[in-house]
């Protein structure tokens, strides 16, 4: 019984995922690209970087990168918390 | 500890993996790559040594506590650089086009690239690279230690 | 100068402190405790000053890494390109809850965690968890929201598994982590769908561009499902009792606030992101039904529990239902201006007021449960008894918390529940009656706990509770009684701006895109 | 439909991951399922940014000025690191559970059943 409920839920969710994949703009031609065009045209001038992706990662979306570095730091602290020595 | 063949090849490959990783960190603003990718490459070198020699042998070579200090320093450097820009805003790129460290202006359009550009981005790249290599390295070491820990009892 | 940078500082200072905590721990334990409490206290002060700023001047916008802190759209482009922090009444309301809870949690931890090892990592994770909650509440960017969601997930799950000697902790943490990650991936997929269609990540820009196509409906479903998973609403609630019961008591209190931050995410998505296009009636009813189910299933499961913290965890699910009910009614009548003004806004105020009340009294209850476990070492109600003889303070605090959660008059739970009953009754009498019934069952359940744990003869040896724990519980009790005695002032000053901020999504969009 | 085959492939990966999560009871397999979902979402993000006949968005020695969208690449980088961190933490919990109960079968562990 429980298995069938789980299977039904899986099928419904899969349907939603597939629907979104099929309805998405066709592969290779993005529907809108004004934000990305800004990055490609202005990144060299504003951040003096040749690599546009790096300019996004560290400058335009630097706050995300801070969060990402924090995630990694958190995971390391968490893993070392789990494998700590216990007092006898 | 694995066989002699693996250990010999590890000895040869290890230094080139480290150099390649640091190259990727350093040229993050010019070629594909950056702090995360380069740090991951260096950490994979650490993982390779760990697999080839086993945890018991290398725990004296690479100290977990040193790695964790290195990671804290990397994190503090990254957020410190972000805070330095707070004269204007948090995360402001105050070194770009300033003519000082990493301050050369970039040629607009397709060009061969100049290492001394991009302002604070290379600094952040280094901080993140340090952090990632220390973080991933210590995760791998900690897991090896954790697996070992229970067996001793 | 410092005023301009407040939102960035509120997120940045706890993060900086978190990176520094392992280094400071190497010097001295006491110094580290003072440092952490000091940082959280300073953050609380910054949040309060930002709150005054927001209530006086309206929405506060902070652009990360731009040439000036204020908003500057690049010339010729009608969209923001950098990450923007956008603080409105609702965000600052949630931030007040998070900072208060984290501050008292840290004070309580001083004595509570005294005997444990690994305290340096514990405090580091506590700071990161706090900073993550602020990030979720302040950010105006969908992907940034996902990043902070994951930060809180990882920090929270590491702390849930803190007691590594107990196998149950690791189980609870594993289960919680899998569900949190799955929820976060749903959110990320939804962000991908929105990005693929509109090429924007900023919430205000997306809100102005959304067409409500079939894909947007899928994205809405995924966002609500993923965030409801983390908020602990009913169909995805199975992690709540395990995680809340296994985490150390101060962490459980912060986990409650963390779940509420996800709840804030649901409200932000429904009201602001989809507020202009959505069929609010349908979505409102879906949220109301989720709320009713949470209320009912939570309280019925709580009645049969034997372990004290598990029982309280099920009550936390049930109380989440009240918030969903209140805000859901507001959402259901959002497009009907008459109904909105006569009772919809009132219901939302009740639901939002209940968020802060719940954080306070549920936090207090978990702290008293922590004190009981600290002094006796027992978790099962059947093994407890006669605690009132030795632990007089804890008994009083437990009575205050239990009366507040059951909605008895002089306490804050009554104030918010009364608003919810009154306004929901005008919307649909049935819902209001169910809510009252759940409230009575809650009272019955807590009378049982009180009778079996605190009354009766002294059957076990107990020691006295330490002073810092009493101090933290005392402060929370004072807040509860103050809110209960002067609900009008609280509703006027901080709750009404939050409700208005949710309803007027145009303001949120106009703050970024101008009057367009 | 046929033009969107890359998106469909990513979604199929996600569905396989969800199937693994729901129907497999081994802790390591659950982690693998979660990883499959992660990979699917990351691939979905990166395929969103593809533009036909374009090069990577890096000006150093670039072939031409037509470039694919750079934002999804930055987002995917972030989400890969986040996925790695979560995987490390979940595997640590799995190690602890295995140490404690001497089994990796979730149906034999009380709380993880159902």
- The token pair that represents C158 in the structure block: 């590491």
The pLDDT assigned to C516 comes to 45
The closest alpha carbon to C190, from C175, C179, C206, C174, belongs to C206
The pLDDT assigned to B153 comes to 46
Determine what percent of chain D is predicted with pLDDT higher than 90: 20
Q: Chain D 55-84, CB below 8 Å of chain A: which residues?
A: 56-60, 67, 69-71, 73-75, 77-78, 81-82, 84
Q: Do C82 and A60 count as a contact with CB atoms less than 8 A apart?
A: yes
The answer to whether B11 touches B29, Cβ cutoff 8 Å, is no
Domain residue ranges of chain A, discontinuous segments joined by +: 31-88
C190 located within any domain: no
> Which chain A residues have a beta carbon less than 8 Å from that of B103?
48
* Residue B132 to residue B64: CA distance in whole angstroms: 14
Q: Do C64 and B91 count as a contact with CB atoms less than 8 A apart?
A: yes
| pLDDT band per the 50, 70, 90 thresholds, residue B138 | confident
Tell me the nearest-neighbour CA distance from C67 into chain B, angstroms. 6
Determine what percent of chain B is predicted with pLDDT higher than 90: 1
- Statement: residue C277 has pLDDT above 80: no
State whether residue A16 sits within 8 Å of chain D by CB. Answer: no
Average pLDDT over every residue of C167-177: 86
Tell me the nearest-neighbour CA distance from C174 into chain D, angstroms. 6
Closest Cβ opposite residue A38 in set C74, C143, C213:
C74
Q: Which residues pair with C62 in a beta bridge?
A: C85
Name the domain count of chain C.
1
* Residue B36 to residue A54: CA distance in whole angstroms: 11
DSSP string, C80-106: --S-EEEE-HHHHHHHHHHHHHHHHHH
The closest alpha carbon to A29, from C187, D80, D7, belongs to D7
C91 located within any domain: no
The pLDDT assigned to B115 comes to 67
* Of B7-21, B101-115, C245-259, C482-496, the least confident: B101-115
Set out the domains of chain D in order of their start, with CATH numbers.
2-53+65-108 (1.10.287.3510)
C290 located within any domain: yes
The answer to whether D42 touches D83, Cβ cutoff 8 Å, is yes
pLDDT one-digit tens code per residue, A4-19: 888 888 898 888 888 8
Write down the pTM of the prediction.
Answer: 0.92
* Residue C53 to residue C88: CA distance in whole angstroms: 10
Name the domain count of chain B.
1
Averaged pLDDT of chain C:
84
C511 located within any domain: no
The pLDDT assigned to C298 comes to 87
DSSP class of C272: I
- Statement: residue C71 has pLDDT above 70: no
Q: Which residues pair with C63 in a beta bridge?
A: C84
- How many helices (H) and strands (E) are present in chain C, helices listed first? 21, 2
- How many helices (H) and strands (E) are present in chain A, helices listed first? 4, 0
pLDDT one-digit tens code per residue, D49-94: 888 877 778 777 777 777 888 888 888 988 998 998 899 999 988 8
Other beta carbons less than 10 A from residue C54's beta carbon: 22
> Which chain B residues have a beta carbon less than 8 Å from that of A68?
36
Please give the residue range of the domain that contains residue C395. Answer: 279-485
pLDDT one-digit tens code per residue, B96-107: 666 666 666 666
The closest alpha carbon to C177, from B16, B80, D89, B149, belongs to D89
C313 located within any domain: yes
The pLDDT assigned to A87 comes to 64
The answer to whether B79 touches C15, Cβ cutoff 8 Å, is yes
C411 located within any domain: yes
Determine what percent of chain C is predicted with pLDDT higher than 90: 7
Size of interface A-C (CB pairs under 8 A): 127
Please give the residue range of the domain that contains residue B25. Answer: 4-151
The answer to whether C154 touches A74, Cβ cutoff 8 Å, is yes
Highest mean pLDDT among A22-26, B70-74, C354-358: C354-358
| pLDDT band per the 50, 70, 90 thresholds, residue D36 | very high
- Statement: residue D114 has pLDDT above 50: no
The alpha-helical segments, DSSP class H, found in D1-114 are: 5-23, 27-48, 71-101
Complex ipTM: 0.91
The pLDDT assigned to B152 comes to 52
DSSP string, C480-495: HHHHHH-HHHHIIIII
């Amino acid at each position: 019984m429980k298995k069938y409920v789980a299977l039904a839920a899986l099928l419904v969710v899969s349907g939603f995922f597939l629907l979104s994949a099929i309805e998405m703009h066709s592969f290779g031609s993005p529907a809108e690209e004004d934000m990305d065009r800004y990055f490609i045209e202005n990144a060299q001038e504003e951040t003096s970087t040749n690599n546009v992706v790096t300019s996004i990662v560290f400058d335009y979306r630097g706050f995300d990168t801070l969060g990402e570095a924090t995630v990694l730091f958190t995971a390391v602290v968490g893993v070392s918390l789990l494998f700590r020595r216990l007092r006898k | 500890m694995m066989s002699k063949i693996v250990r010999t090849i590890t000895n040869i490959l290890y230094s080139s993996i480290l150099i390649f990783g640091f190259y990727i960190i350093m040229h993050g603003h010019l070629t594909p790559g950056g702090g995360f990718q380069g740090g991951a490459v260096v950490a994979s070198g650490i993982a390779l040594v760990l697999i080839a020699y086993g945890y018991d042998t290398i725990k004296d070579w690479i100290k977990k506590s040193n790695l964790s200090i290195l990671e804290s320093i990397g994190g503090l450097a990254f957020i410190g650089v972000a805070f330095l820009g707070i004269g204007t805003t948090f995360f402001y790129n105050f070194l770009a086009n300033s003519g000082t460290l990493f301050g050369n202006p970039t040629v607009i359009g397709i060009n061969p690239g100049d290492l001394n550009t991009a302002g604070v981005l290379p600094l952040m790249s280094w901080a993140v690279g340090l952090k990632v290599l220390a973080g991933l390295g210590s995760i791998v070491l900690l897991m090896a230690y954790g697996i070992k820990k229970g067996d001793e009892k | 100068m410092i005023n301009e940078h407040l939102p960035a500082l509120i997120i940045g200072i706890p993060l900086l402190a978190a990176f520094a905590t392992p280094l400071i721990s190497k010097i001295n334990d006491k110094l580290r405790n003072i440092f952490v409490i000091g940082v959280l206290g300073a953050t609380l002060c910054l949040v309060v000053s930002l709150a005054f700023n927001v209530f006086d001047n309206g929405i506060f916008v902070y652009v990360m890494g731009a040439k000036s802190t204020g908003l500057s759209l690049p010339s010729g482009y009608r969209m923001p390109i950098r990450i923007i922090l956008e603080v409105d009444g609702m965000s600052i309301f949630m931030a007040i809850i998070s900072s208060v809870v984290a501050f008292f949690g840290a004070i309580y931890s001083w004595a509570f965690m005294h005997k444990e090892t690994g305290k340096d990592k514990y405090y580091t994770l506590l700071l990161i968890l706090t900073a993550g909650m602020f990030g979720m509440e302040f950010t105006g960017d969908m992907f940034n929201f996902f990043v902070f969601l994951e930060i809180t997930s990882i920090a929270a799950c590491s702390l849930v598994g803190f007691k590594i000697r107990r196998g149950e902790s690791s189980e609870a943490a594993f289960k919680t982590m899998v569900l949190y990650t799955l929820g976060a991936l749903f959110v990320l997929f939804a962000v991908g769908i929105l990005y693929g269609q509109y090429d924007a990540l900023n919430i205000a820009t997306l809100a102005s561009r959304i067409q409500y196509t079939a894909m947007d409906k899928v994205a809405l479903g995924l966002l609500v499902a993923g965030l409801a998973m983390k908020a602990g609403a009913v169909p995805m609630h199975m992690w709540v009792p395990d995680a809340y019961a296994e985490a150390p008591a101060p962490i459980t209190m912060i986990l409650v606030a963390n779940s509420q931050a996800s709840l804030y995410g649901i409200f932000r998505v429904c009201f602001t992101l989809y507020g202009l296009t959505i069929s609010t009636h349908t979505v409102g009813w879906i949220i109301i039904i989720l709320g009713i189910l949470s209320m009912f299933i939570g309280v019925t499961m709580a009645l049969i529990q034997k372990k004290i913290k598990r029982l309280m965890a099920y009550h936390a699910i049930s109380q989440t239902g009240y918030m969903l009910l209140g805000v859901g009614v507001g959402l259901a009548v959002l497009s009907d201006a008459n109904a909105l003004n006569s009772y919809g806004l009132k219901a939302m105020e009740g639901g939002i007021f209940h968020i802060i009340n719940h954080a306070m009294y549920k936090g207090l209850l978990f702290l008293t449960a922590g004190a009981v476990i600290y002094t006796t070492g027992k978790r099962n109600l059947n093994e407890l008894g006669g605690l009132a003889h030795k632990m007089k303070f804890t008994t009083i605090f437990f009575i205050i918390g239990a009366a507040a959660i059951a909605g008895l008059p002089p306490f804050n739970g009554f104030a918010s529940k009364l608003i919810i009953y009154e306004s929901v009754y005008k919307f649909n009498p049935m819902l209001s009656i169910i809510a009252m019934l759940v409230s009575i069952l809650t009272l019955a359940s807590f009378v049982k706990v009180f009778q079996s744990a605190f009354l009766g003869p002294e059957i076990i040896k107990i020691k006295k509770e330490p002073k810092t724990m009493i101090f933290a519980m005392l402060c929370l009790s004072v807040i509860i009684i103050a809110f209960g005695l002067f609900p009008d002032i609280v509703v006027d000053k901080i709750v009404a701006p939050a409700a208005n901020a949710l309803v007027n999504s145009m303001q949120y969009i106009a703050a970024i895109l101008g009057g367009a | 439909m046929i033009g969107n085959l890359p998106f469909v492939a990513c979604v199929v990966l996600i569905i396989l991951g969800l199937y693994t999560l729901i129907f497999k009871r081994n802790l390591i397999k659950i982690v693998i399922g979660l990883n499959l979902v992660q990979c699917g979402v990351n691939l979905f993000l990166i395929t969103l940014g593809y533009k036909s006949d374009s090069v990577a968005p890096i000006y150093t020695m670039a072939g031409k000025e037509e470039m694919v969208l750079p934002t999804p690449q930055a987002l995917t980088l972030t989400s890969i690191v986040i996925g790695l961190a979560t995987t490390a933490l979940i595997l640590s919990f799995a190690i602890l559970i295995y140490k404690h109960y001497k089994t990796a079968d979730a149906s034999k562990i009380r709380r993880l059943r159902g």
